[in-house]
Structure 1
Amino acid sequence: MGIFSRMTDIINSNLTALLDKAEDPQKMIRMMIQEMEETLVEVRSSSARVIADRKTTGRRVDRMRQESLEWEKKAMLAIGKGREDLARAALNEKQQIEREIDLVDEELAALDDHLNHLNEEVGQLQTKLTDAKAKQKAMLMRQSTVESRLRVKRQNSKSTLDNAVDKFERFERRMDSLEGQIESMDVGTESSTDLKSQIDALENDDKISDELARLKEKMTKVD
């Protein structure tokens, strides 16, 4: 692809549309920036050569105009000396030089148009390059922000999970402690309870026997 064709494609391209279609926008924008920078270097090198040619051609046409003036002076001198033949010859030389000057002027005009075109396209390309770098910077900042948010979210999720686990473990320890307290209160009470029950049963049996004897005695007296 020629330098001017590539530069035109870049200038006419819609950066946003291209990046939206790209599978890897960051990679694509890096490539675009690199290509734009390389194109700018080539265009500026071409501009430098055209400027050098313009200066050389300008000096050449200046010398030719000076030479044309010299032939005109010679023609005037010949006329003053009555040498019309020499005057005609001098004017002929002057006309030939002026025809060359016309051609060189056309060449200068073409060089000027070329330079103006290059300057215009370089300006547009520089604008595109600035835009691309701004988009690259925005993408990098966006990526950094997303990564930071993701890290914070992961940290928060881990922290929430750790807190939940800690709370559960504290609850388990508390329940273990309460159960331990309850069980400690029952330590040694089971055997004493059984013994007390047996003694109470004996006392109760004695009361029943006494009550039974009283009723029998009462019934005997009635008979």
Structure 2
Amino acid sequence: MSIFSRTRDIVASNMAELLDKAEDPAKMIRMIVMEMEETLVEVRAGIARTIADQKEMRSQIARLERMQGSWLEKAELALSKGREDLAKAALGEKQKAAGMAEALRGEIEVLDTGLRASEADISRLQTKLREARSRQSAVQTRLESANQRARLREMHSGPKVDDAFSRFALLDRRVDEAEARAEALALGAPPMTLEEEIAELRNADKVDAELAALKLRIASTVEA
């Protein structure tokens, strides 16, 4: 449905009032901008047609002026030959052509007045369109900002965040329990005897010796 009924309505419109009354300001401003753009196209197309009509009228006036000159020559010729009746008839045709040319000039003047009014309307309409586009950008920016704030608030206090922190707390408890069990086992284990410590050192030496032998064997295989 059209927001404006004619160009004058757009020029006289109050953007702020229209947006304040709108249930969906973003949608309303898009519709306003679209209708203004369409109206501009229509008005410019009408101006183009008017200019084309004026051009055609001027061509007709030029033809009528040539006709007047031709009828004057014919009247002069007829009069020189003593045919005053023909001269009078030729002058009558000349007057008809002059009257048609004058009527066309009057129409051109009327169209000129309309063109000046249309050009003024276009200038005011373009100003309104710039205002509407500026408000459209502001509305869009505010809408995006509101959406971002809503997402941030949801991240800060939403159920997903609460659930995630609950899971972290559960993991922390499980780690604490595992560490507690390990400490409990260590507390309950008897201390190593002197012989056990010496045996552990001997086992470590054996492992080191076996590792060195393994490295030597692998190195010999690679060289071969």
TM-score, normalisation: structure 2: 0.62
Match of 2:86 in 1: 86
Of the structure 1 ranges 124-133 and 96-105, higher mean CA displacement relative to structure 2 is found in 124-133
Aligned residues: 182
Match of 1:33 in 2: 33
In 1, the alpha carbon distance for the partners of 2:152 and 2:25 equals: 25
Match of 2:120 in 1: 120
Match of 1:12 in 2: 12
Of the structure 1 ranges 90-99 and 114-123, higher mean CA displacement relative to structure 2 is found in 114-123
Q: What SS does the corresponding residue of 2:6 show, helix, strand or coil?
A: helix
Gaps of 5+ in 1: 175-223
User: Any residues of structure 2 matched to 1:1-223 within 5 Å, and which?
Assistant: 5-156=5-156
* CA apart distance, 1:155: 4.0
What are the Cα deviations for residues 170-195 of structure 1, in whole angstroms up to 9, with x where unaligned? 9xx99xxxxxxxxxxxxxxxxxxxxx
In 2, the alpha carbon distance for the partners of 1:146 and 1:130 equals: 24
* CA apart distance, 1:81: 4.7
Match of 1:187 in 2: none
* CA apart distance, 1:139: 0.9
Structure 1 moving runs of 4+ over 6 Å: 160-163
- Code of the residue aligned with 1:114 in structure 2: it is G
* CA apart distance, 1:64: 0.5
* CA apart distance, 1:70: 1.8
* CA apart distance, 1:5: 4.7
What are the Cα deviations for residues 71-130 of structure 1, in whole angstroms up to 9, with x where unaligned? 223333444555444333222221111111111111111222222222222222222222
- Code of the residue aligned with 1:58 in structure 2: it is R
In 2, the alpha carbon distance for the partners of 1:5 and 1:28 equals: 16
In 2, the alpha carbon distance for the partners of 1:76 and 1:112 equals: 37
* CA apart distance, 1:132: 0.9
In 2, the alpha carbon distance for the partners of 1:109 and 1:18 equals: 38
* CA apart distance, 1:59: 1.0
What are the Cα deviations for residues 176-221 of structure 1, in whole angstroms up to 9, with x where unaligned? xxxxxxxxxxxxxxxxxxxxxxxxxxxxxxxxxxxxxxxxxxxxxx
2:60–2:101 contact (8 Å) kept in structure 1:
no
* CA apart distance, 1:25: 1.1
In 2, the alpha carbon distance for the partners of 1:80 and 1:29 equals: 76
In 1, the alpha carbon distance for the partners of 2:65 and 2:5 equals: 38
In 2, the alpha carbon distance for the partners of 1:110 and 1:5 equals: 24
* CA apart distance, 1:49: 2.3
- Code of the residue aligned with 2:149 in structure 1: it is R
In 2, the alpha carbon distance for the partners of 1:136 and 1:50 equals: 33
TM-score, normalisation: structure 1: 0.63
In 1, the alpha carbon distance for the partners of 2:29 and 2:5 equals: 19
* CA apart distance, 1:47: 2.4
What are the Cα deviations for residues 142-175 of structure 1, in whole angstroms up to 9, with x where unaligned? 22223333434444557x9899xx99xx9xx99x
2:7–2:39 contact (8 Å) kept in structure 1:
yes
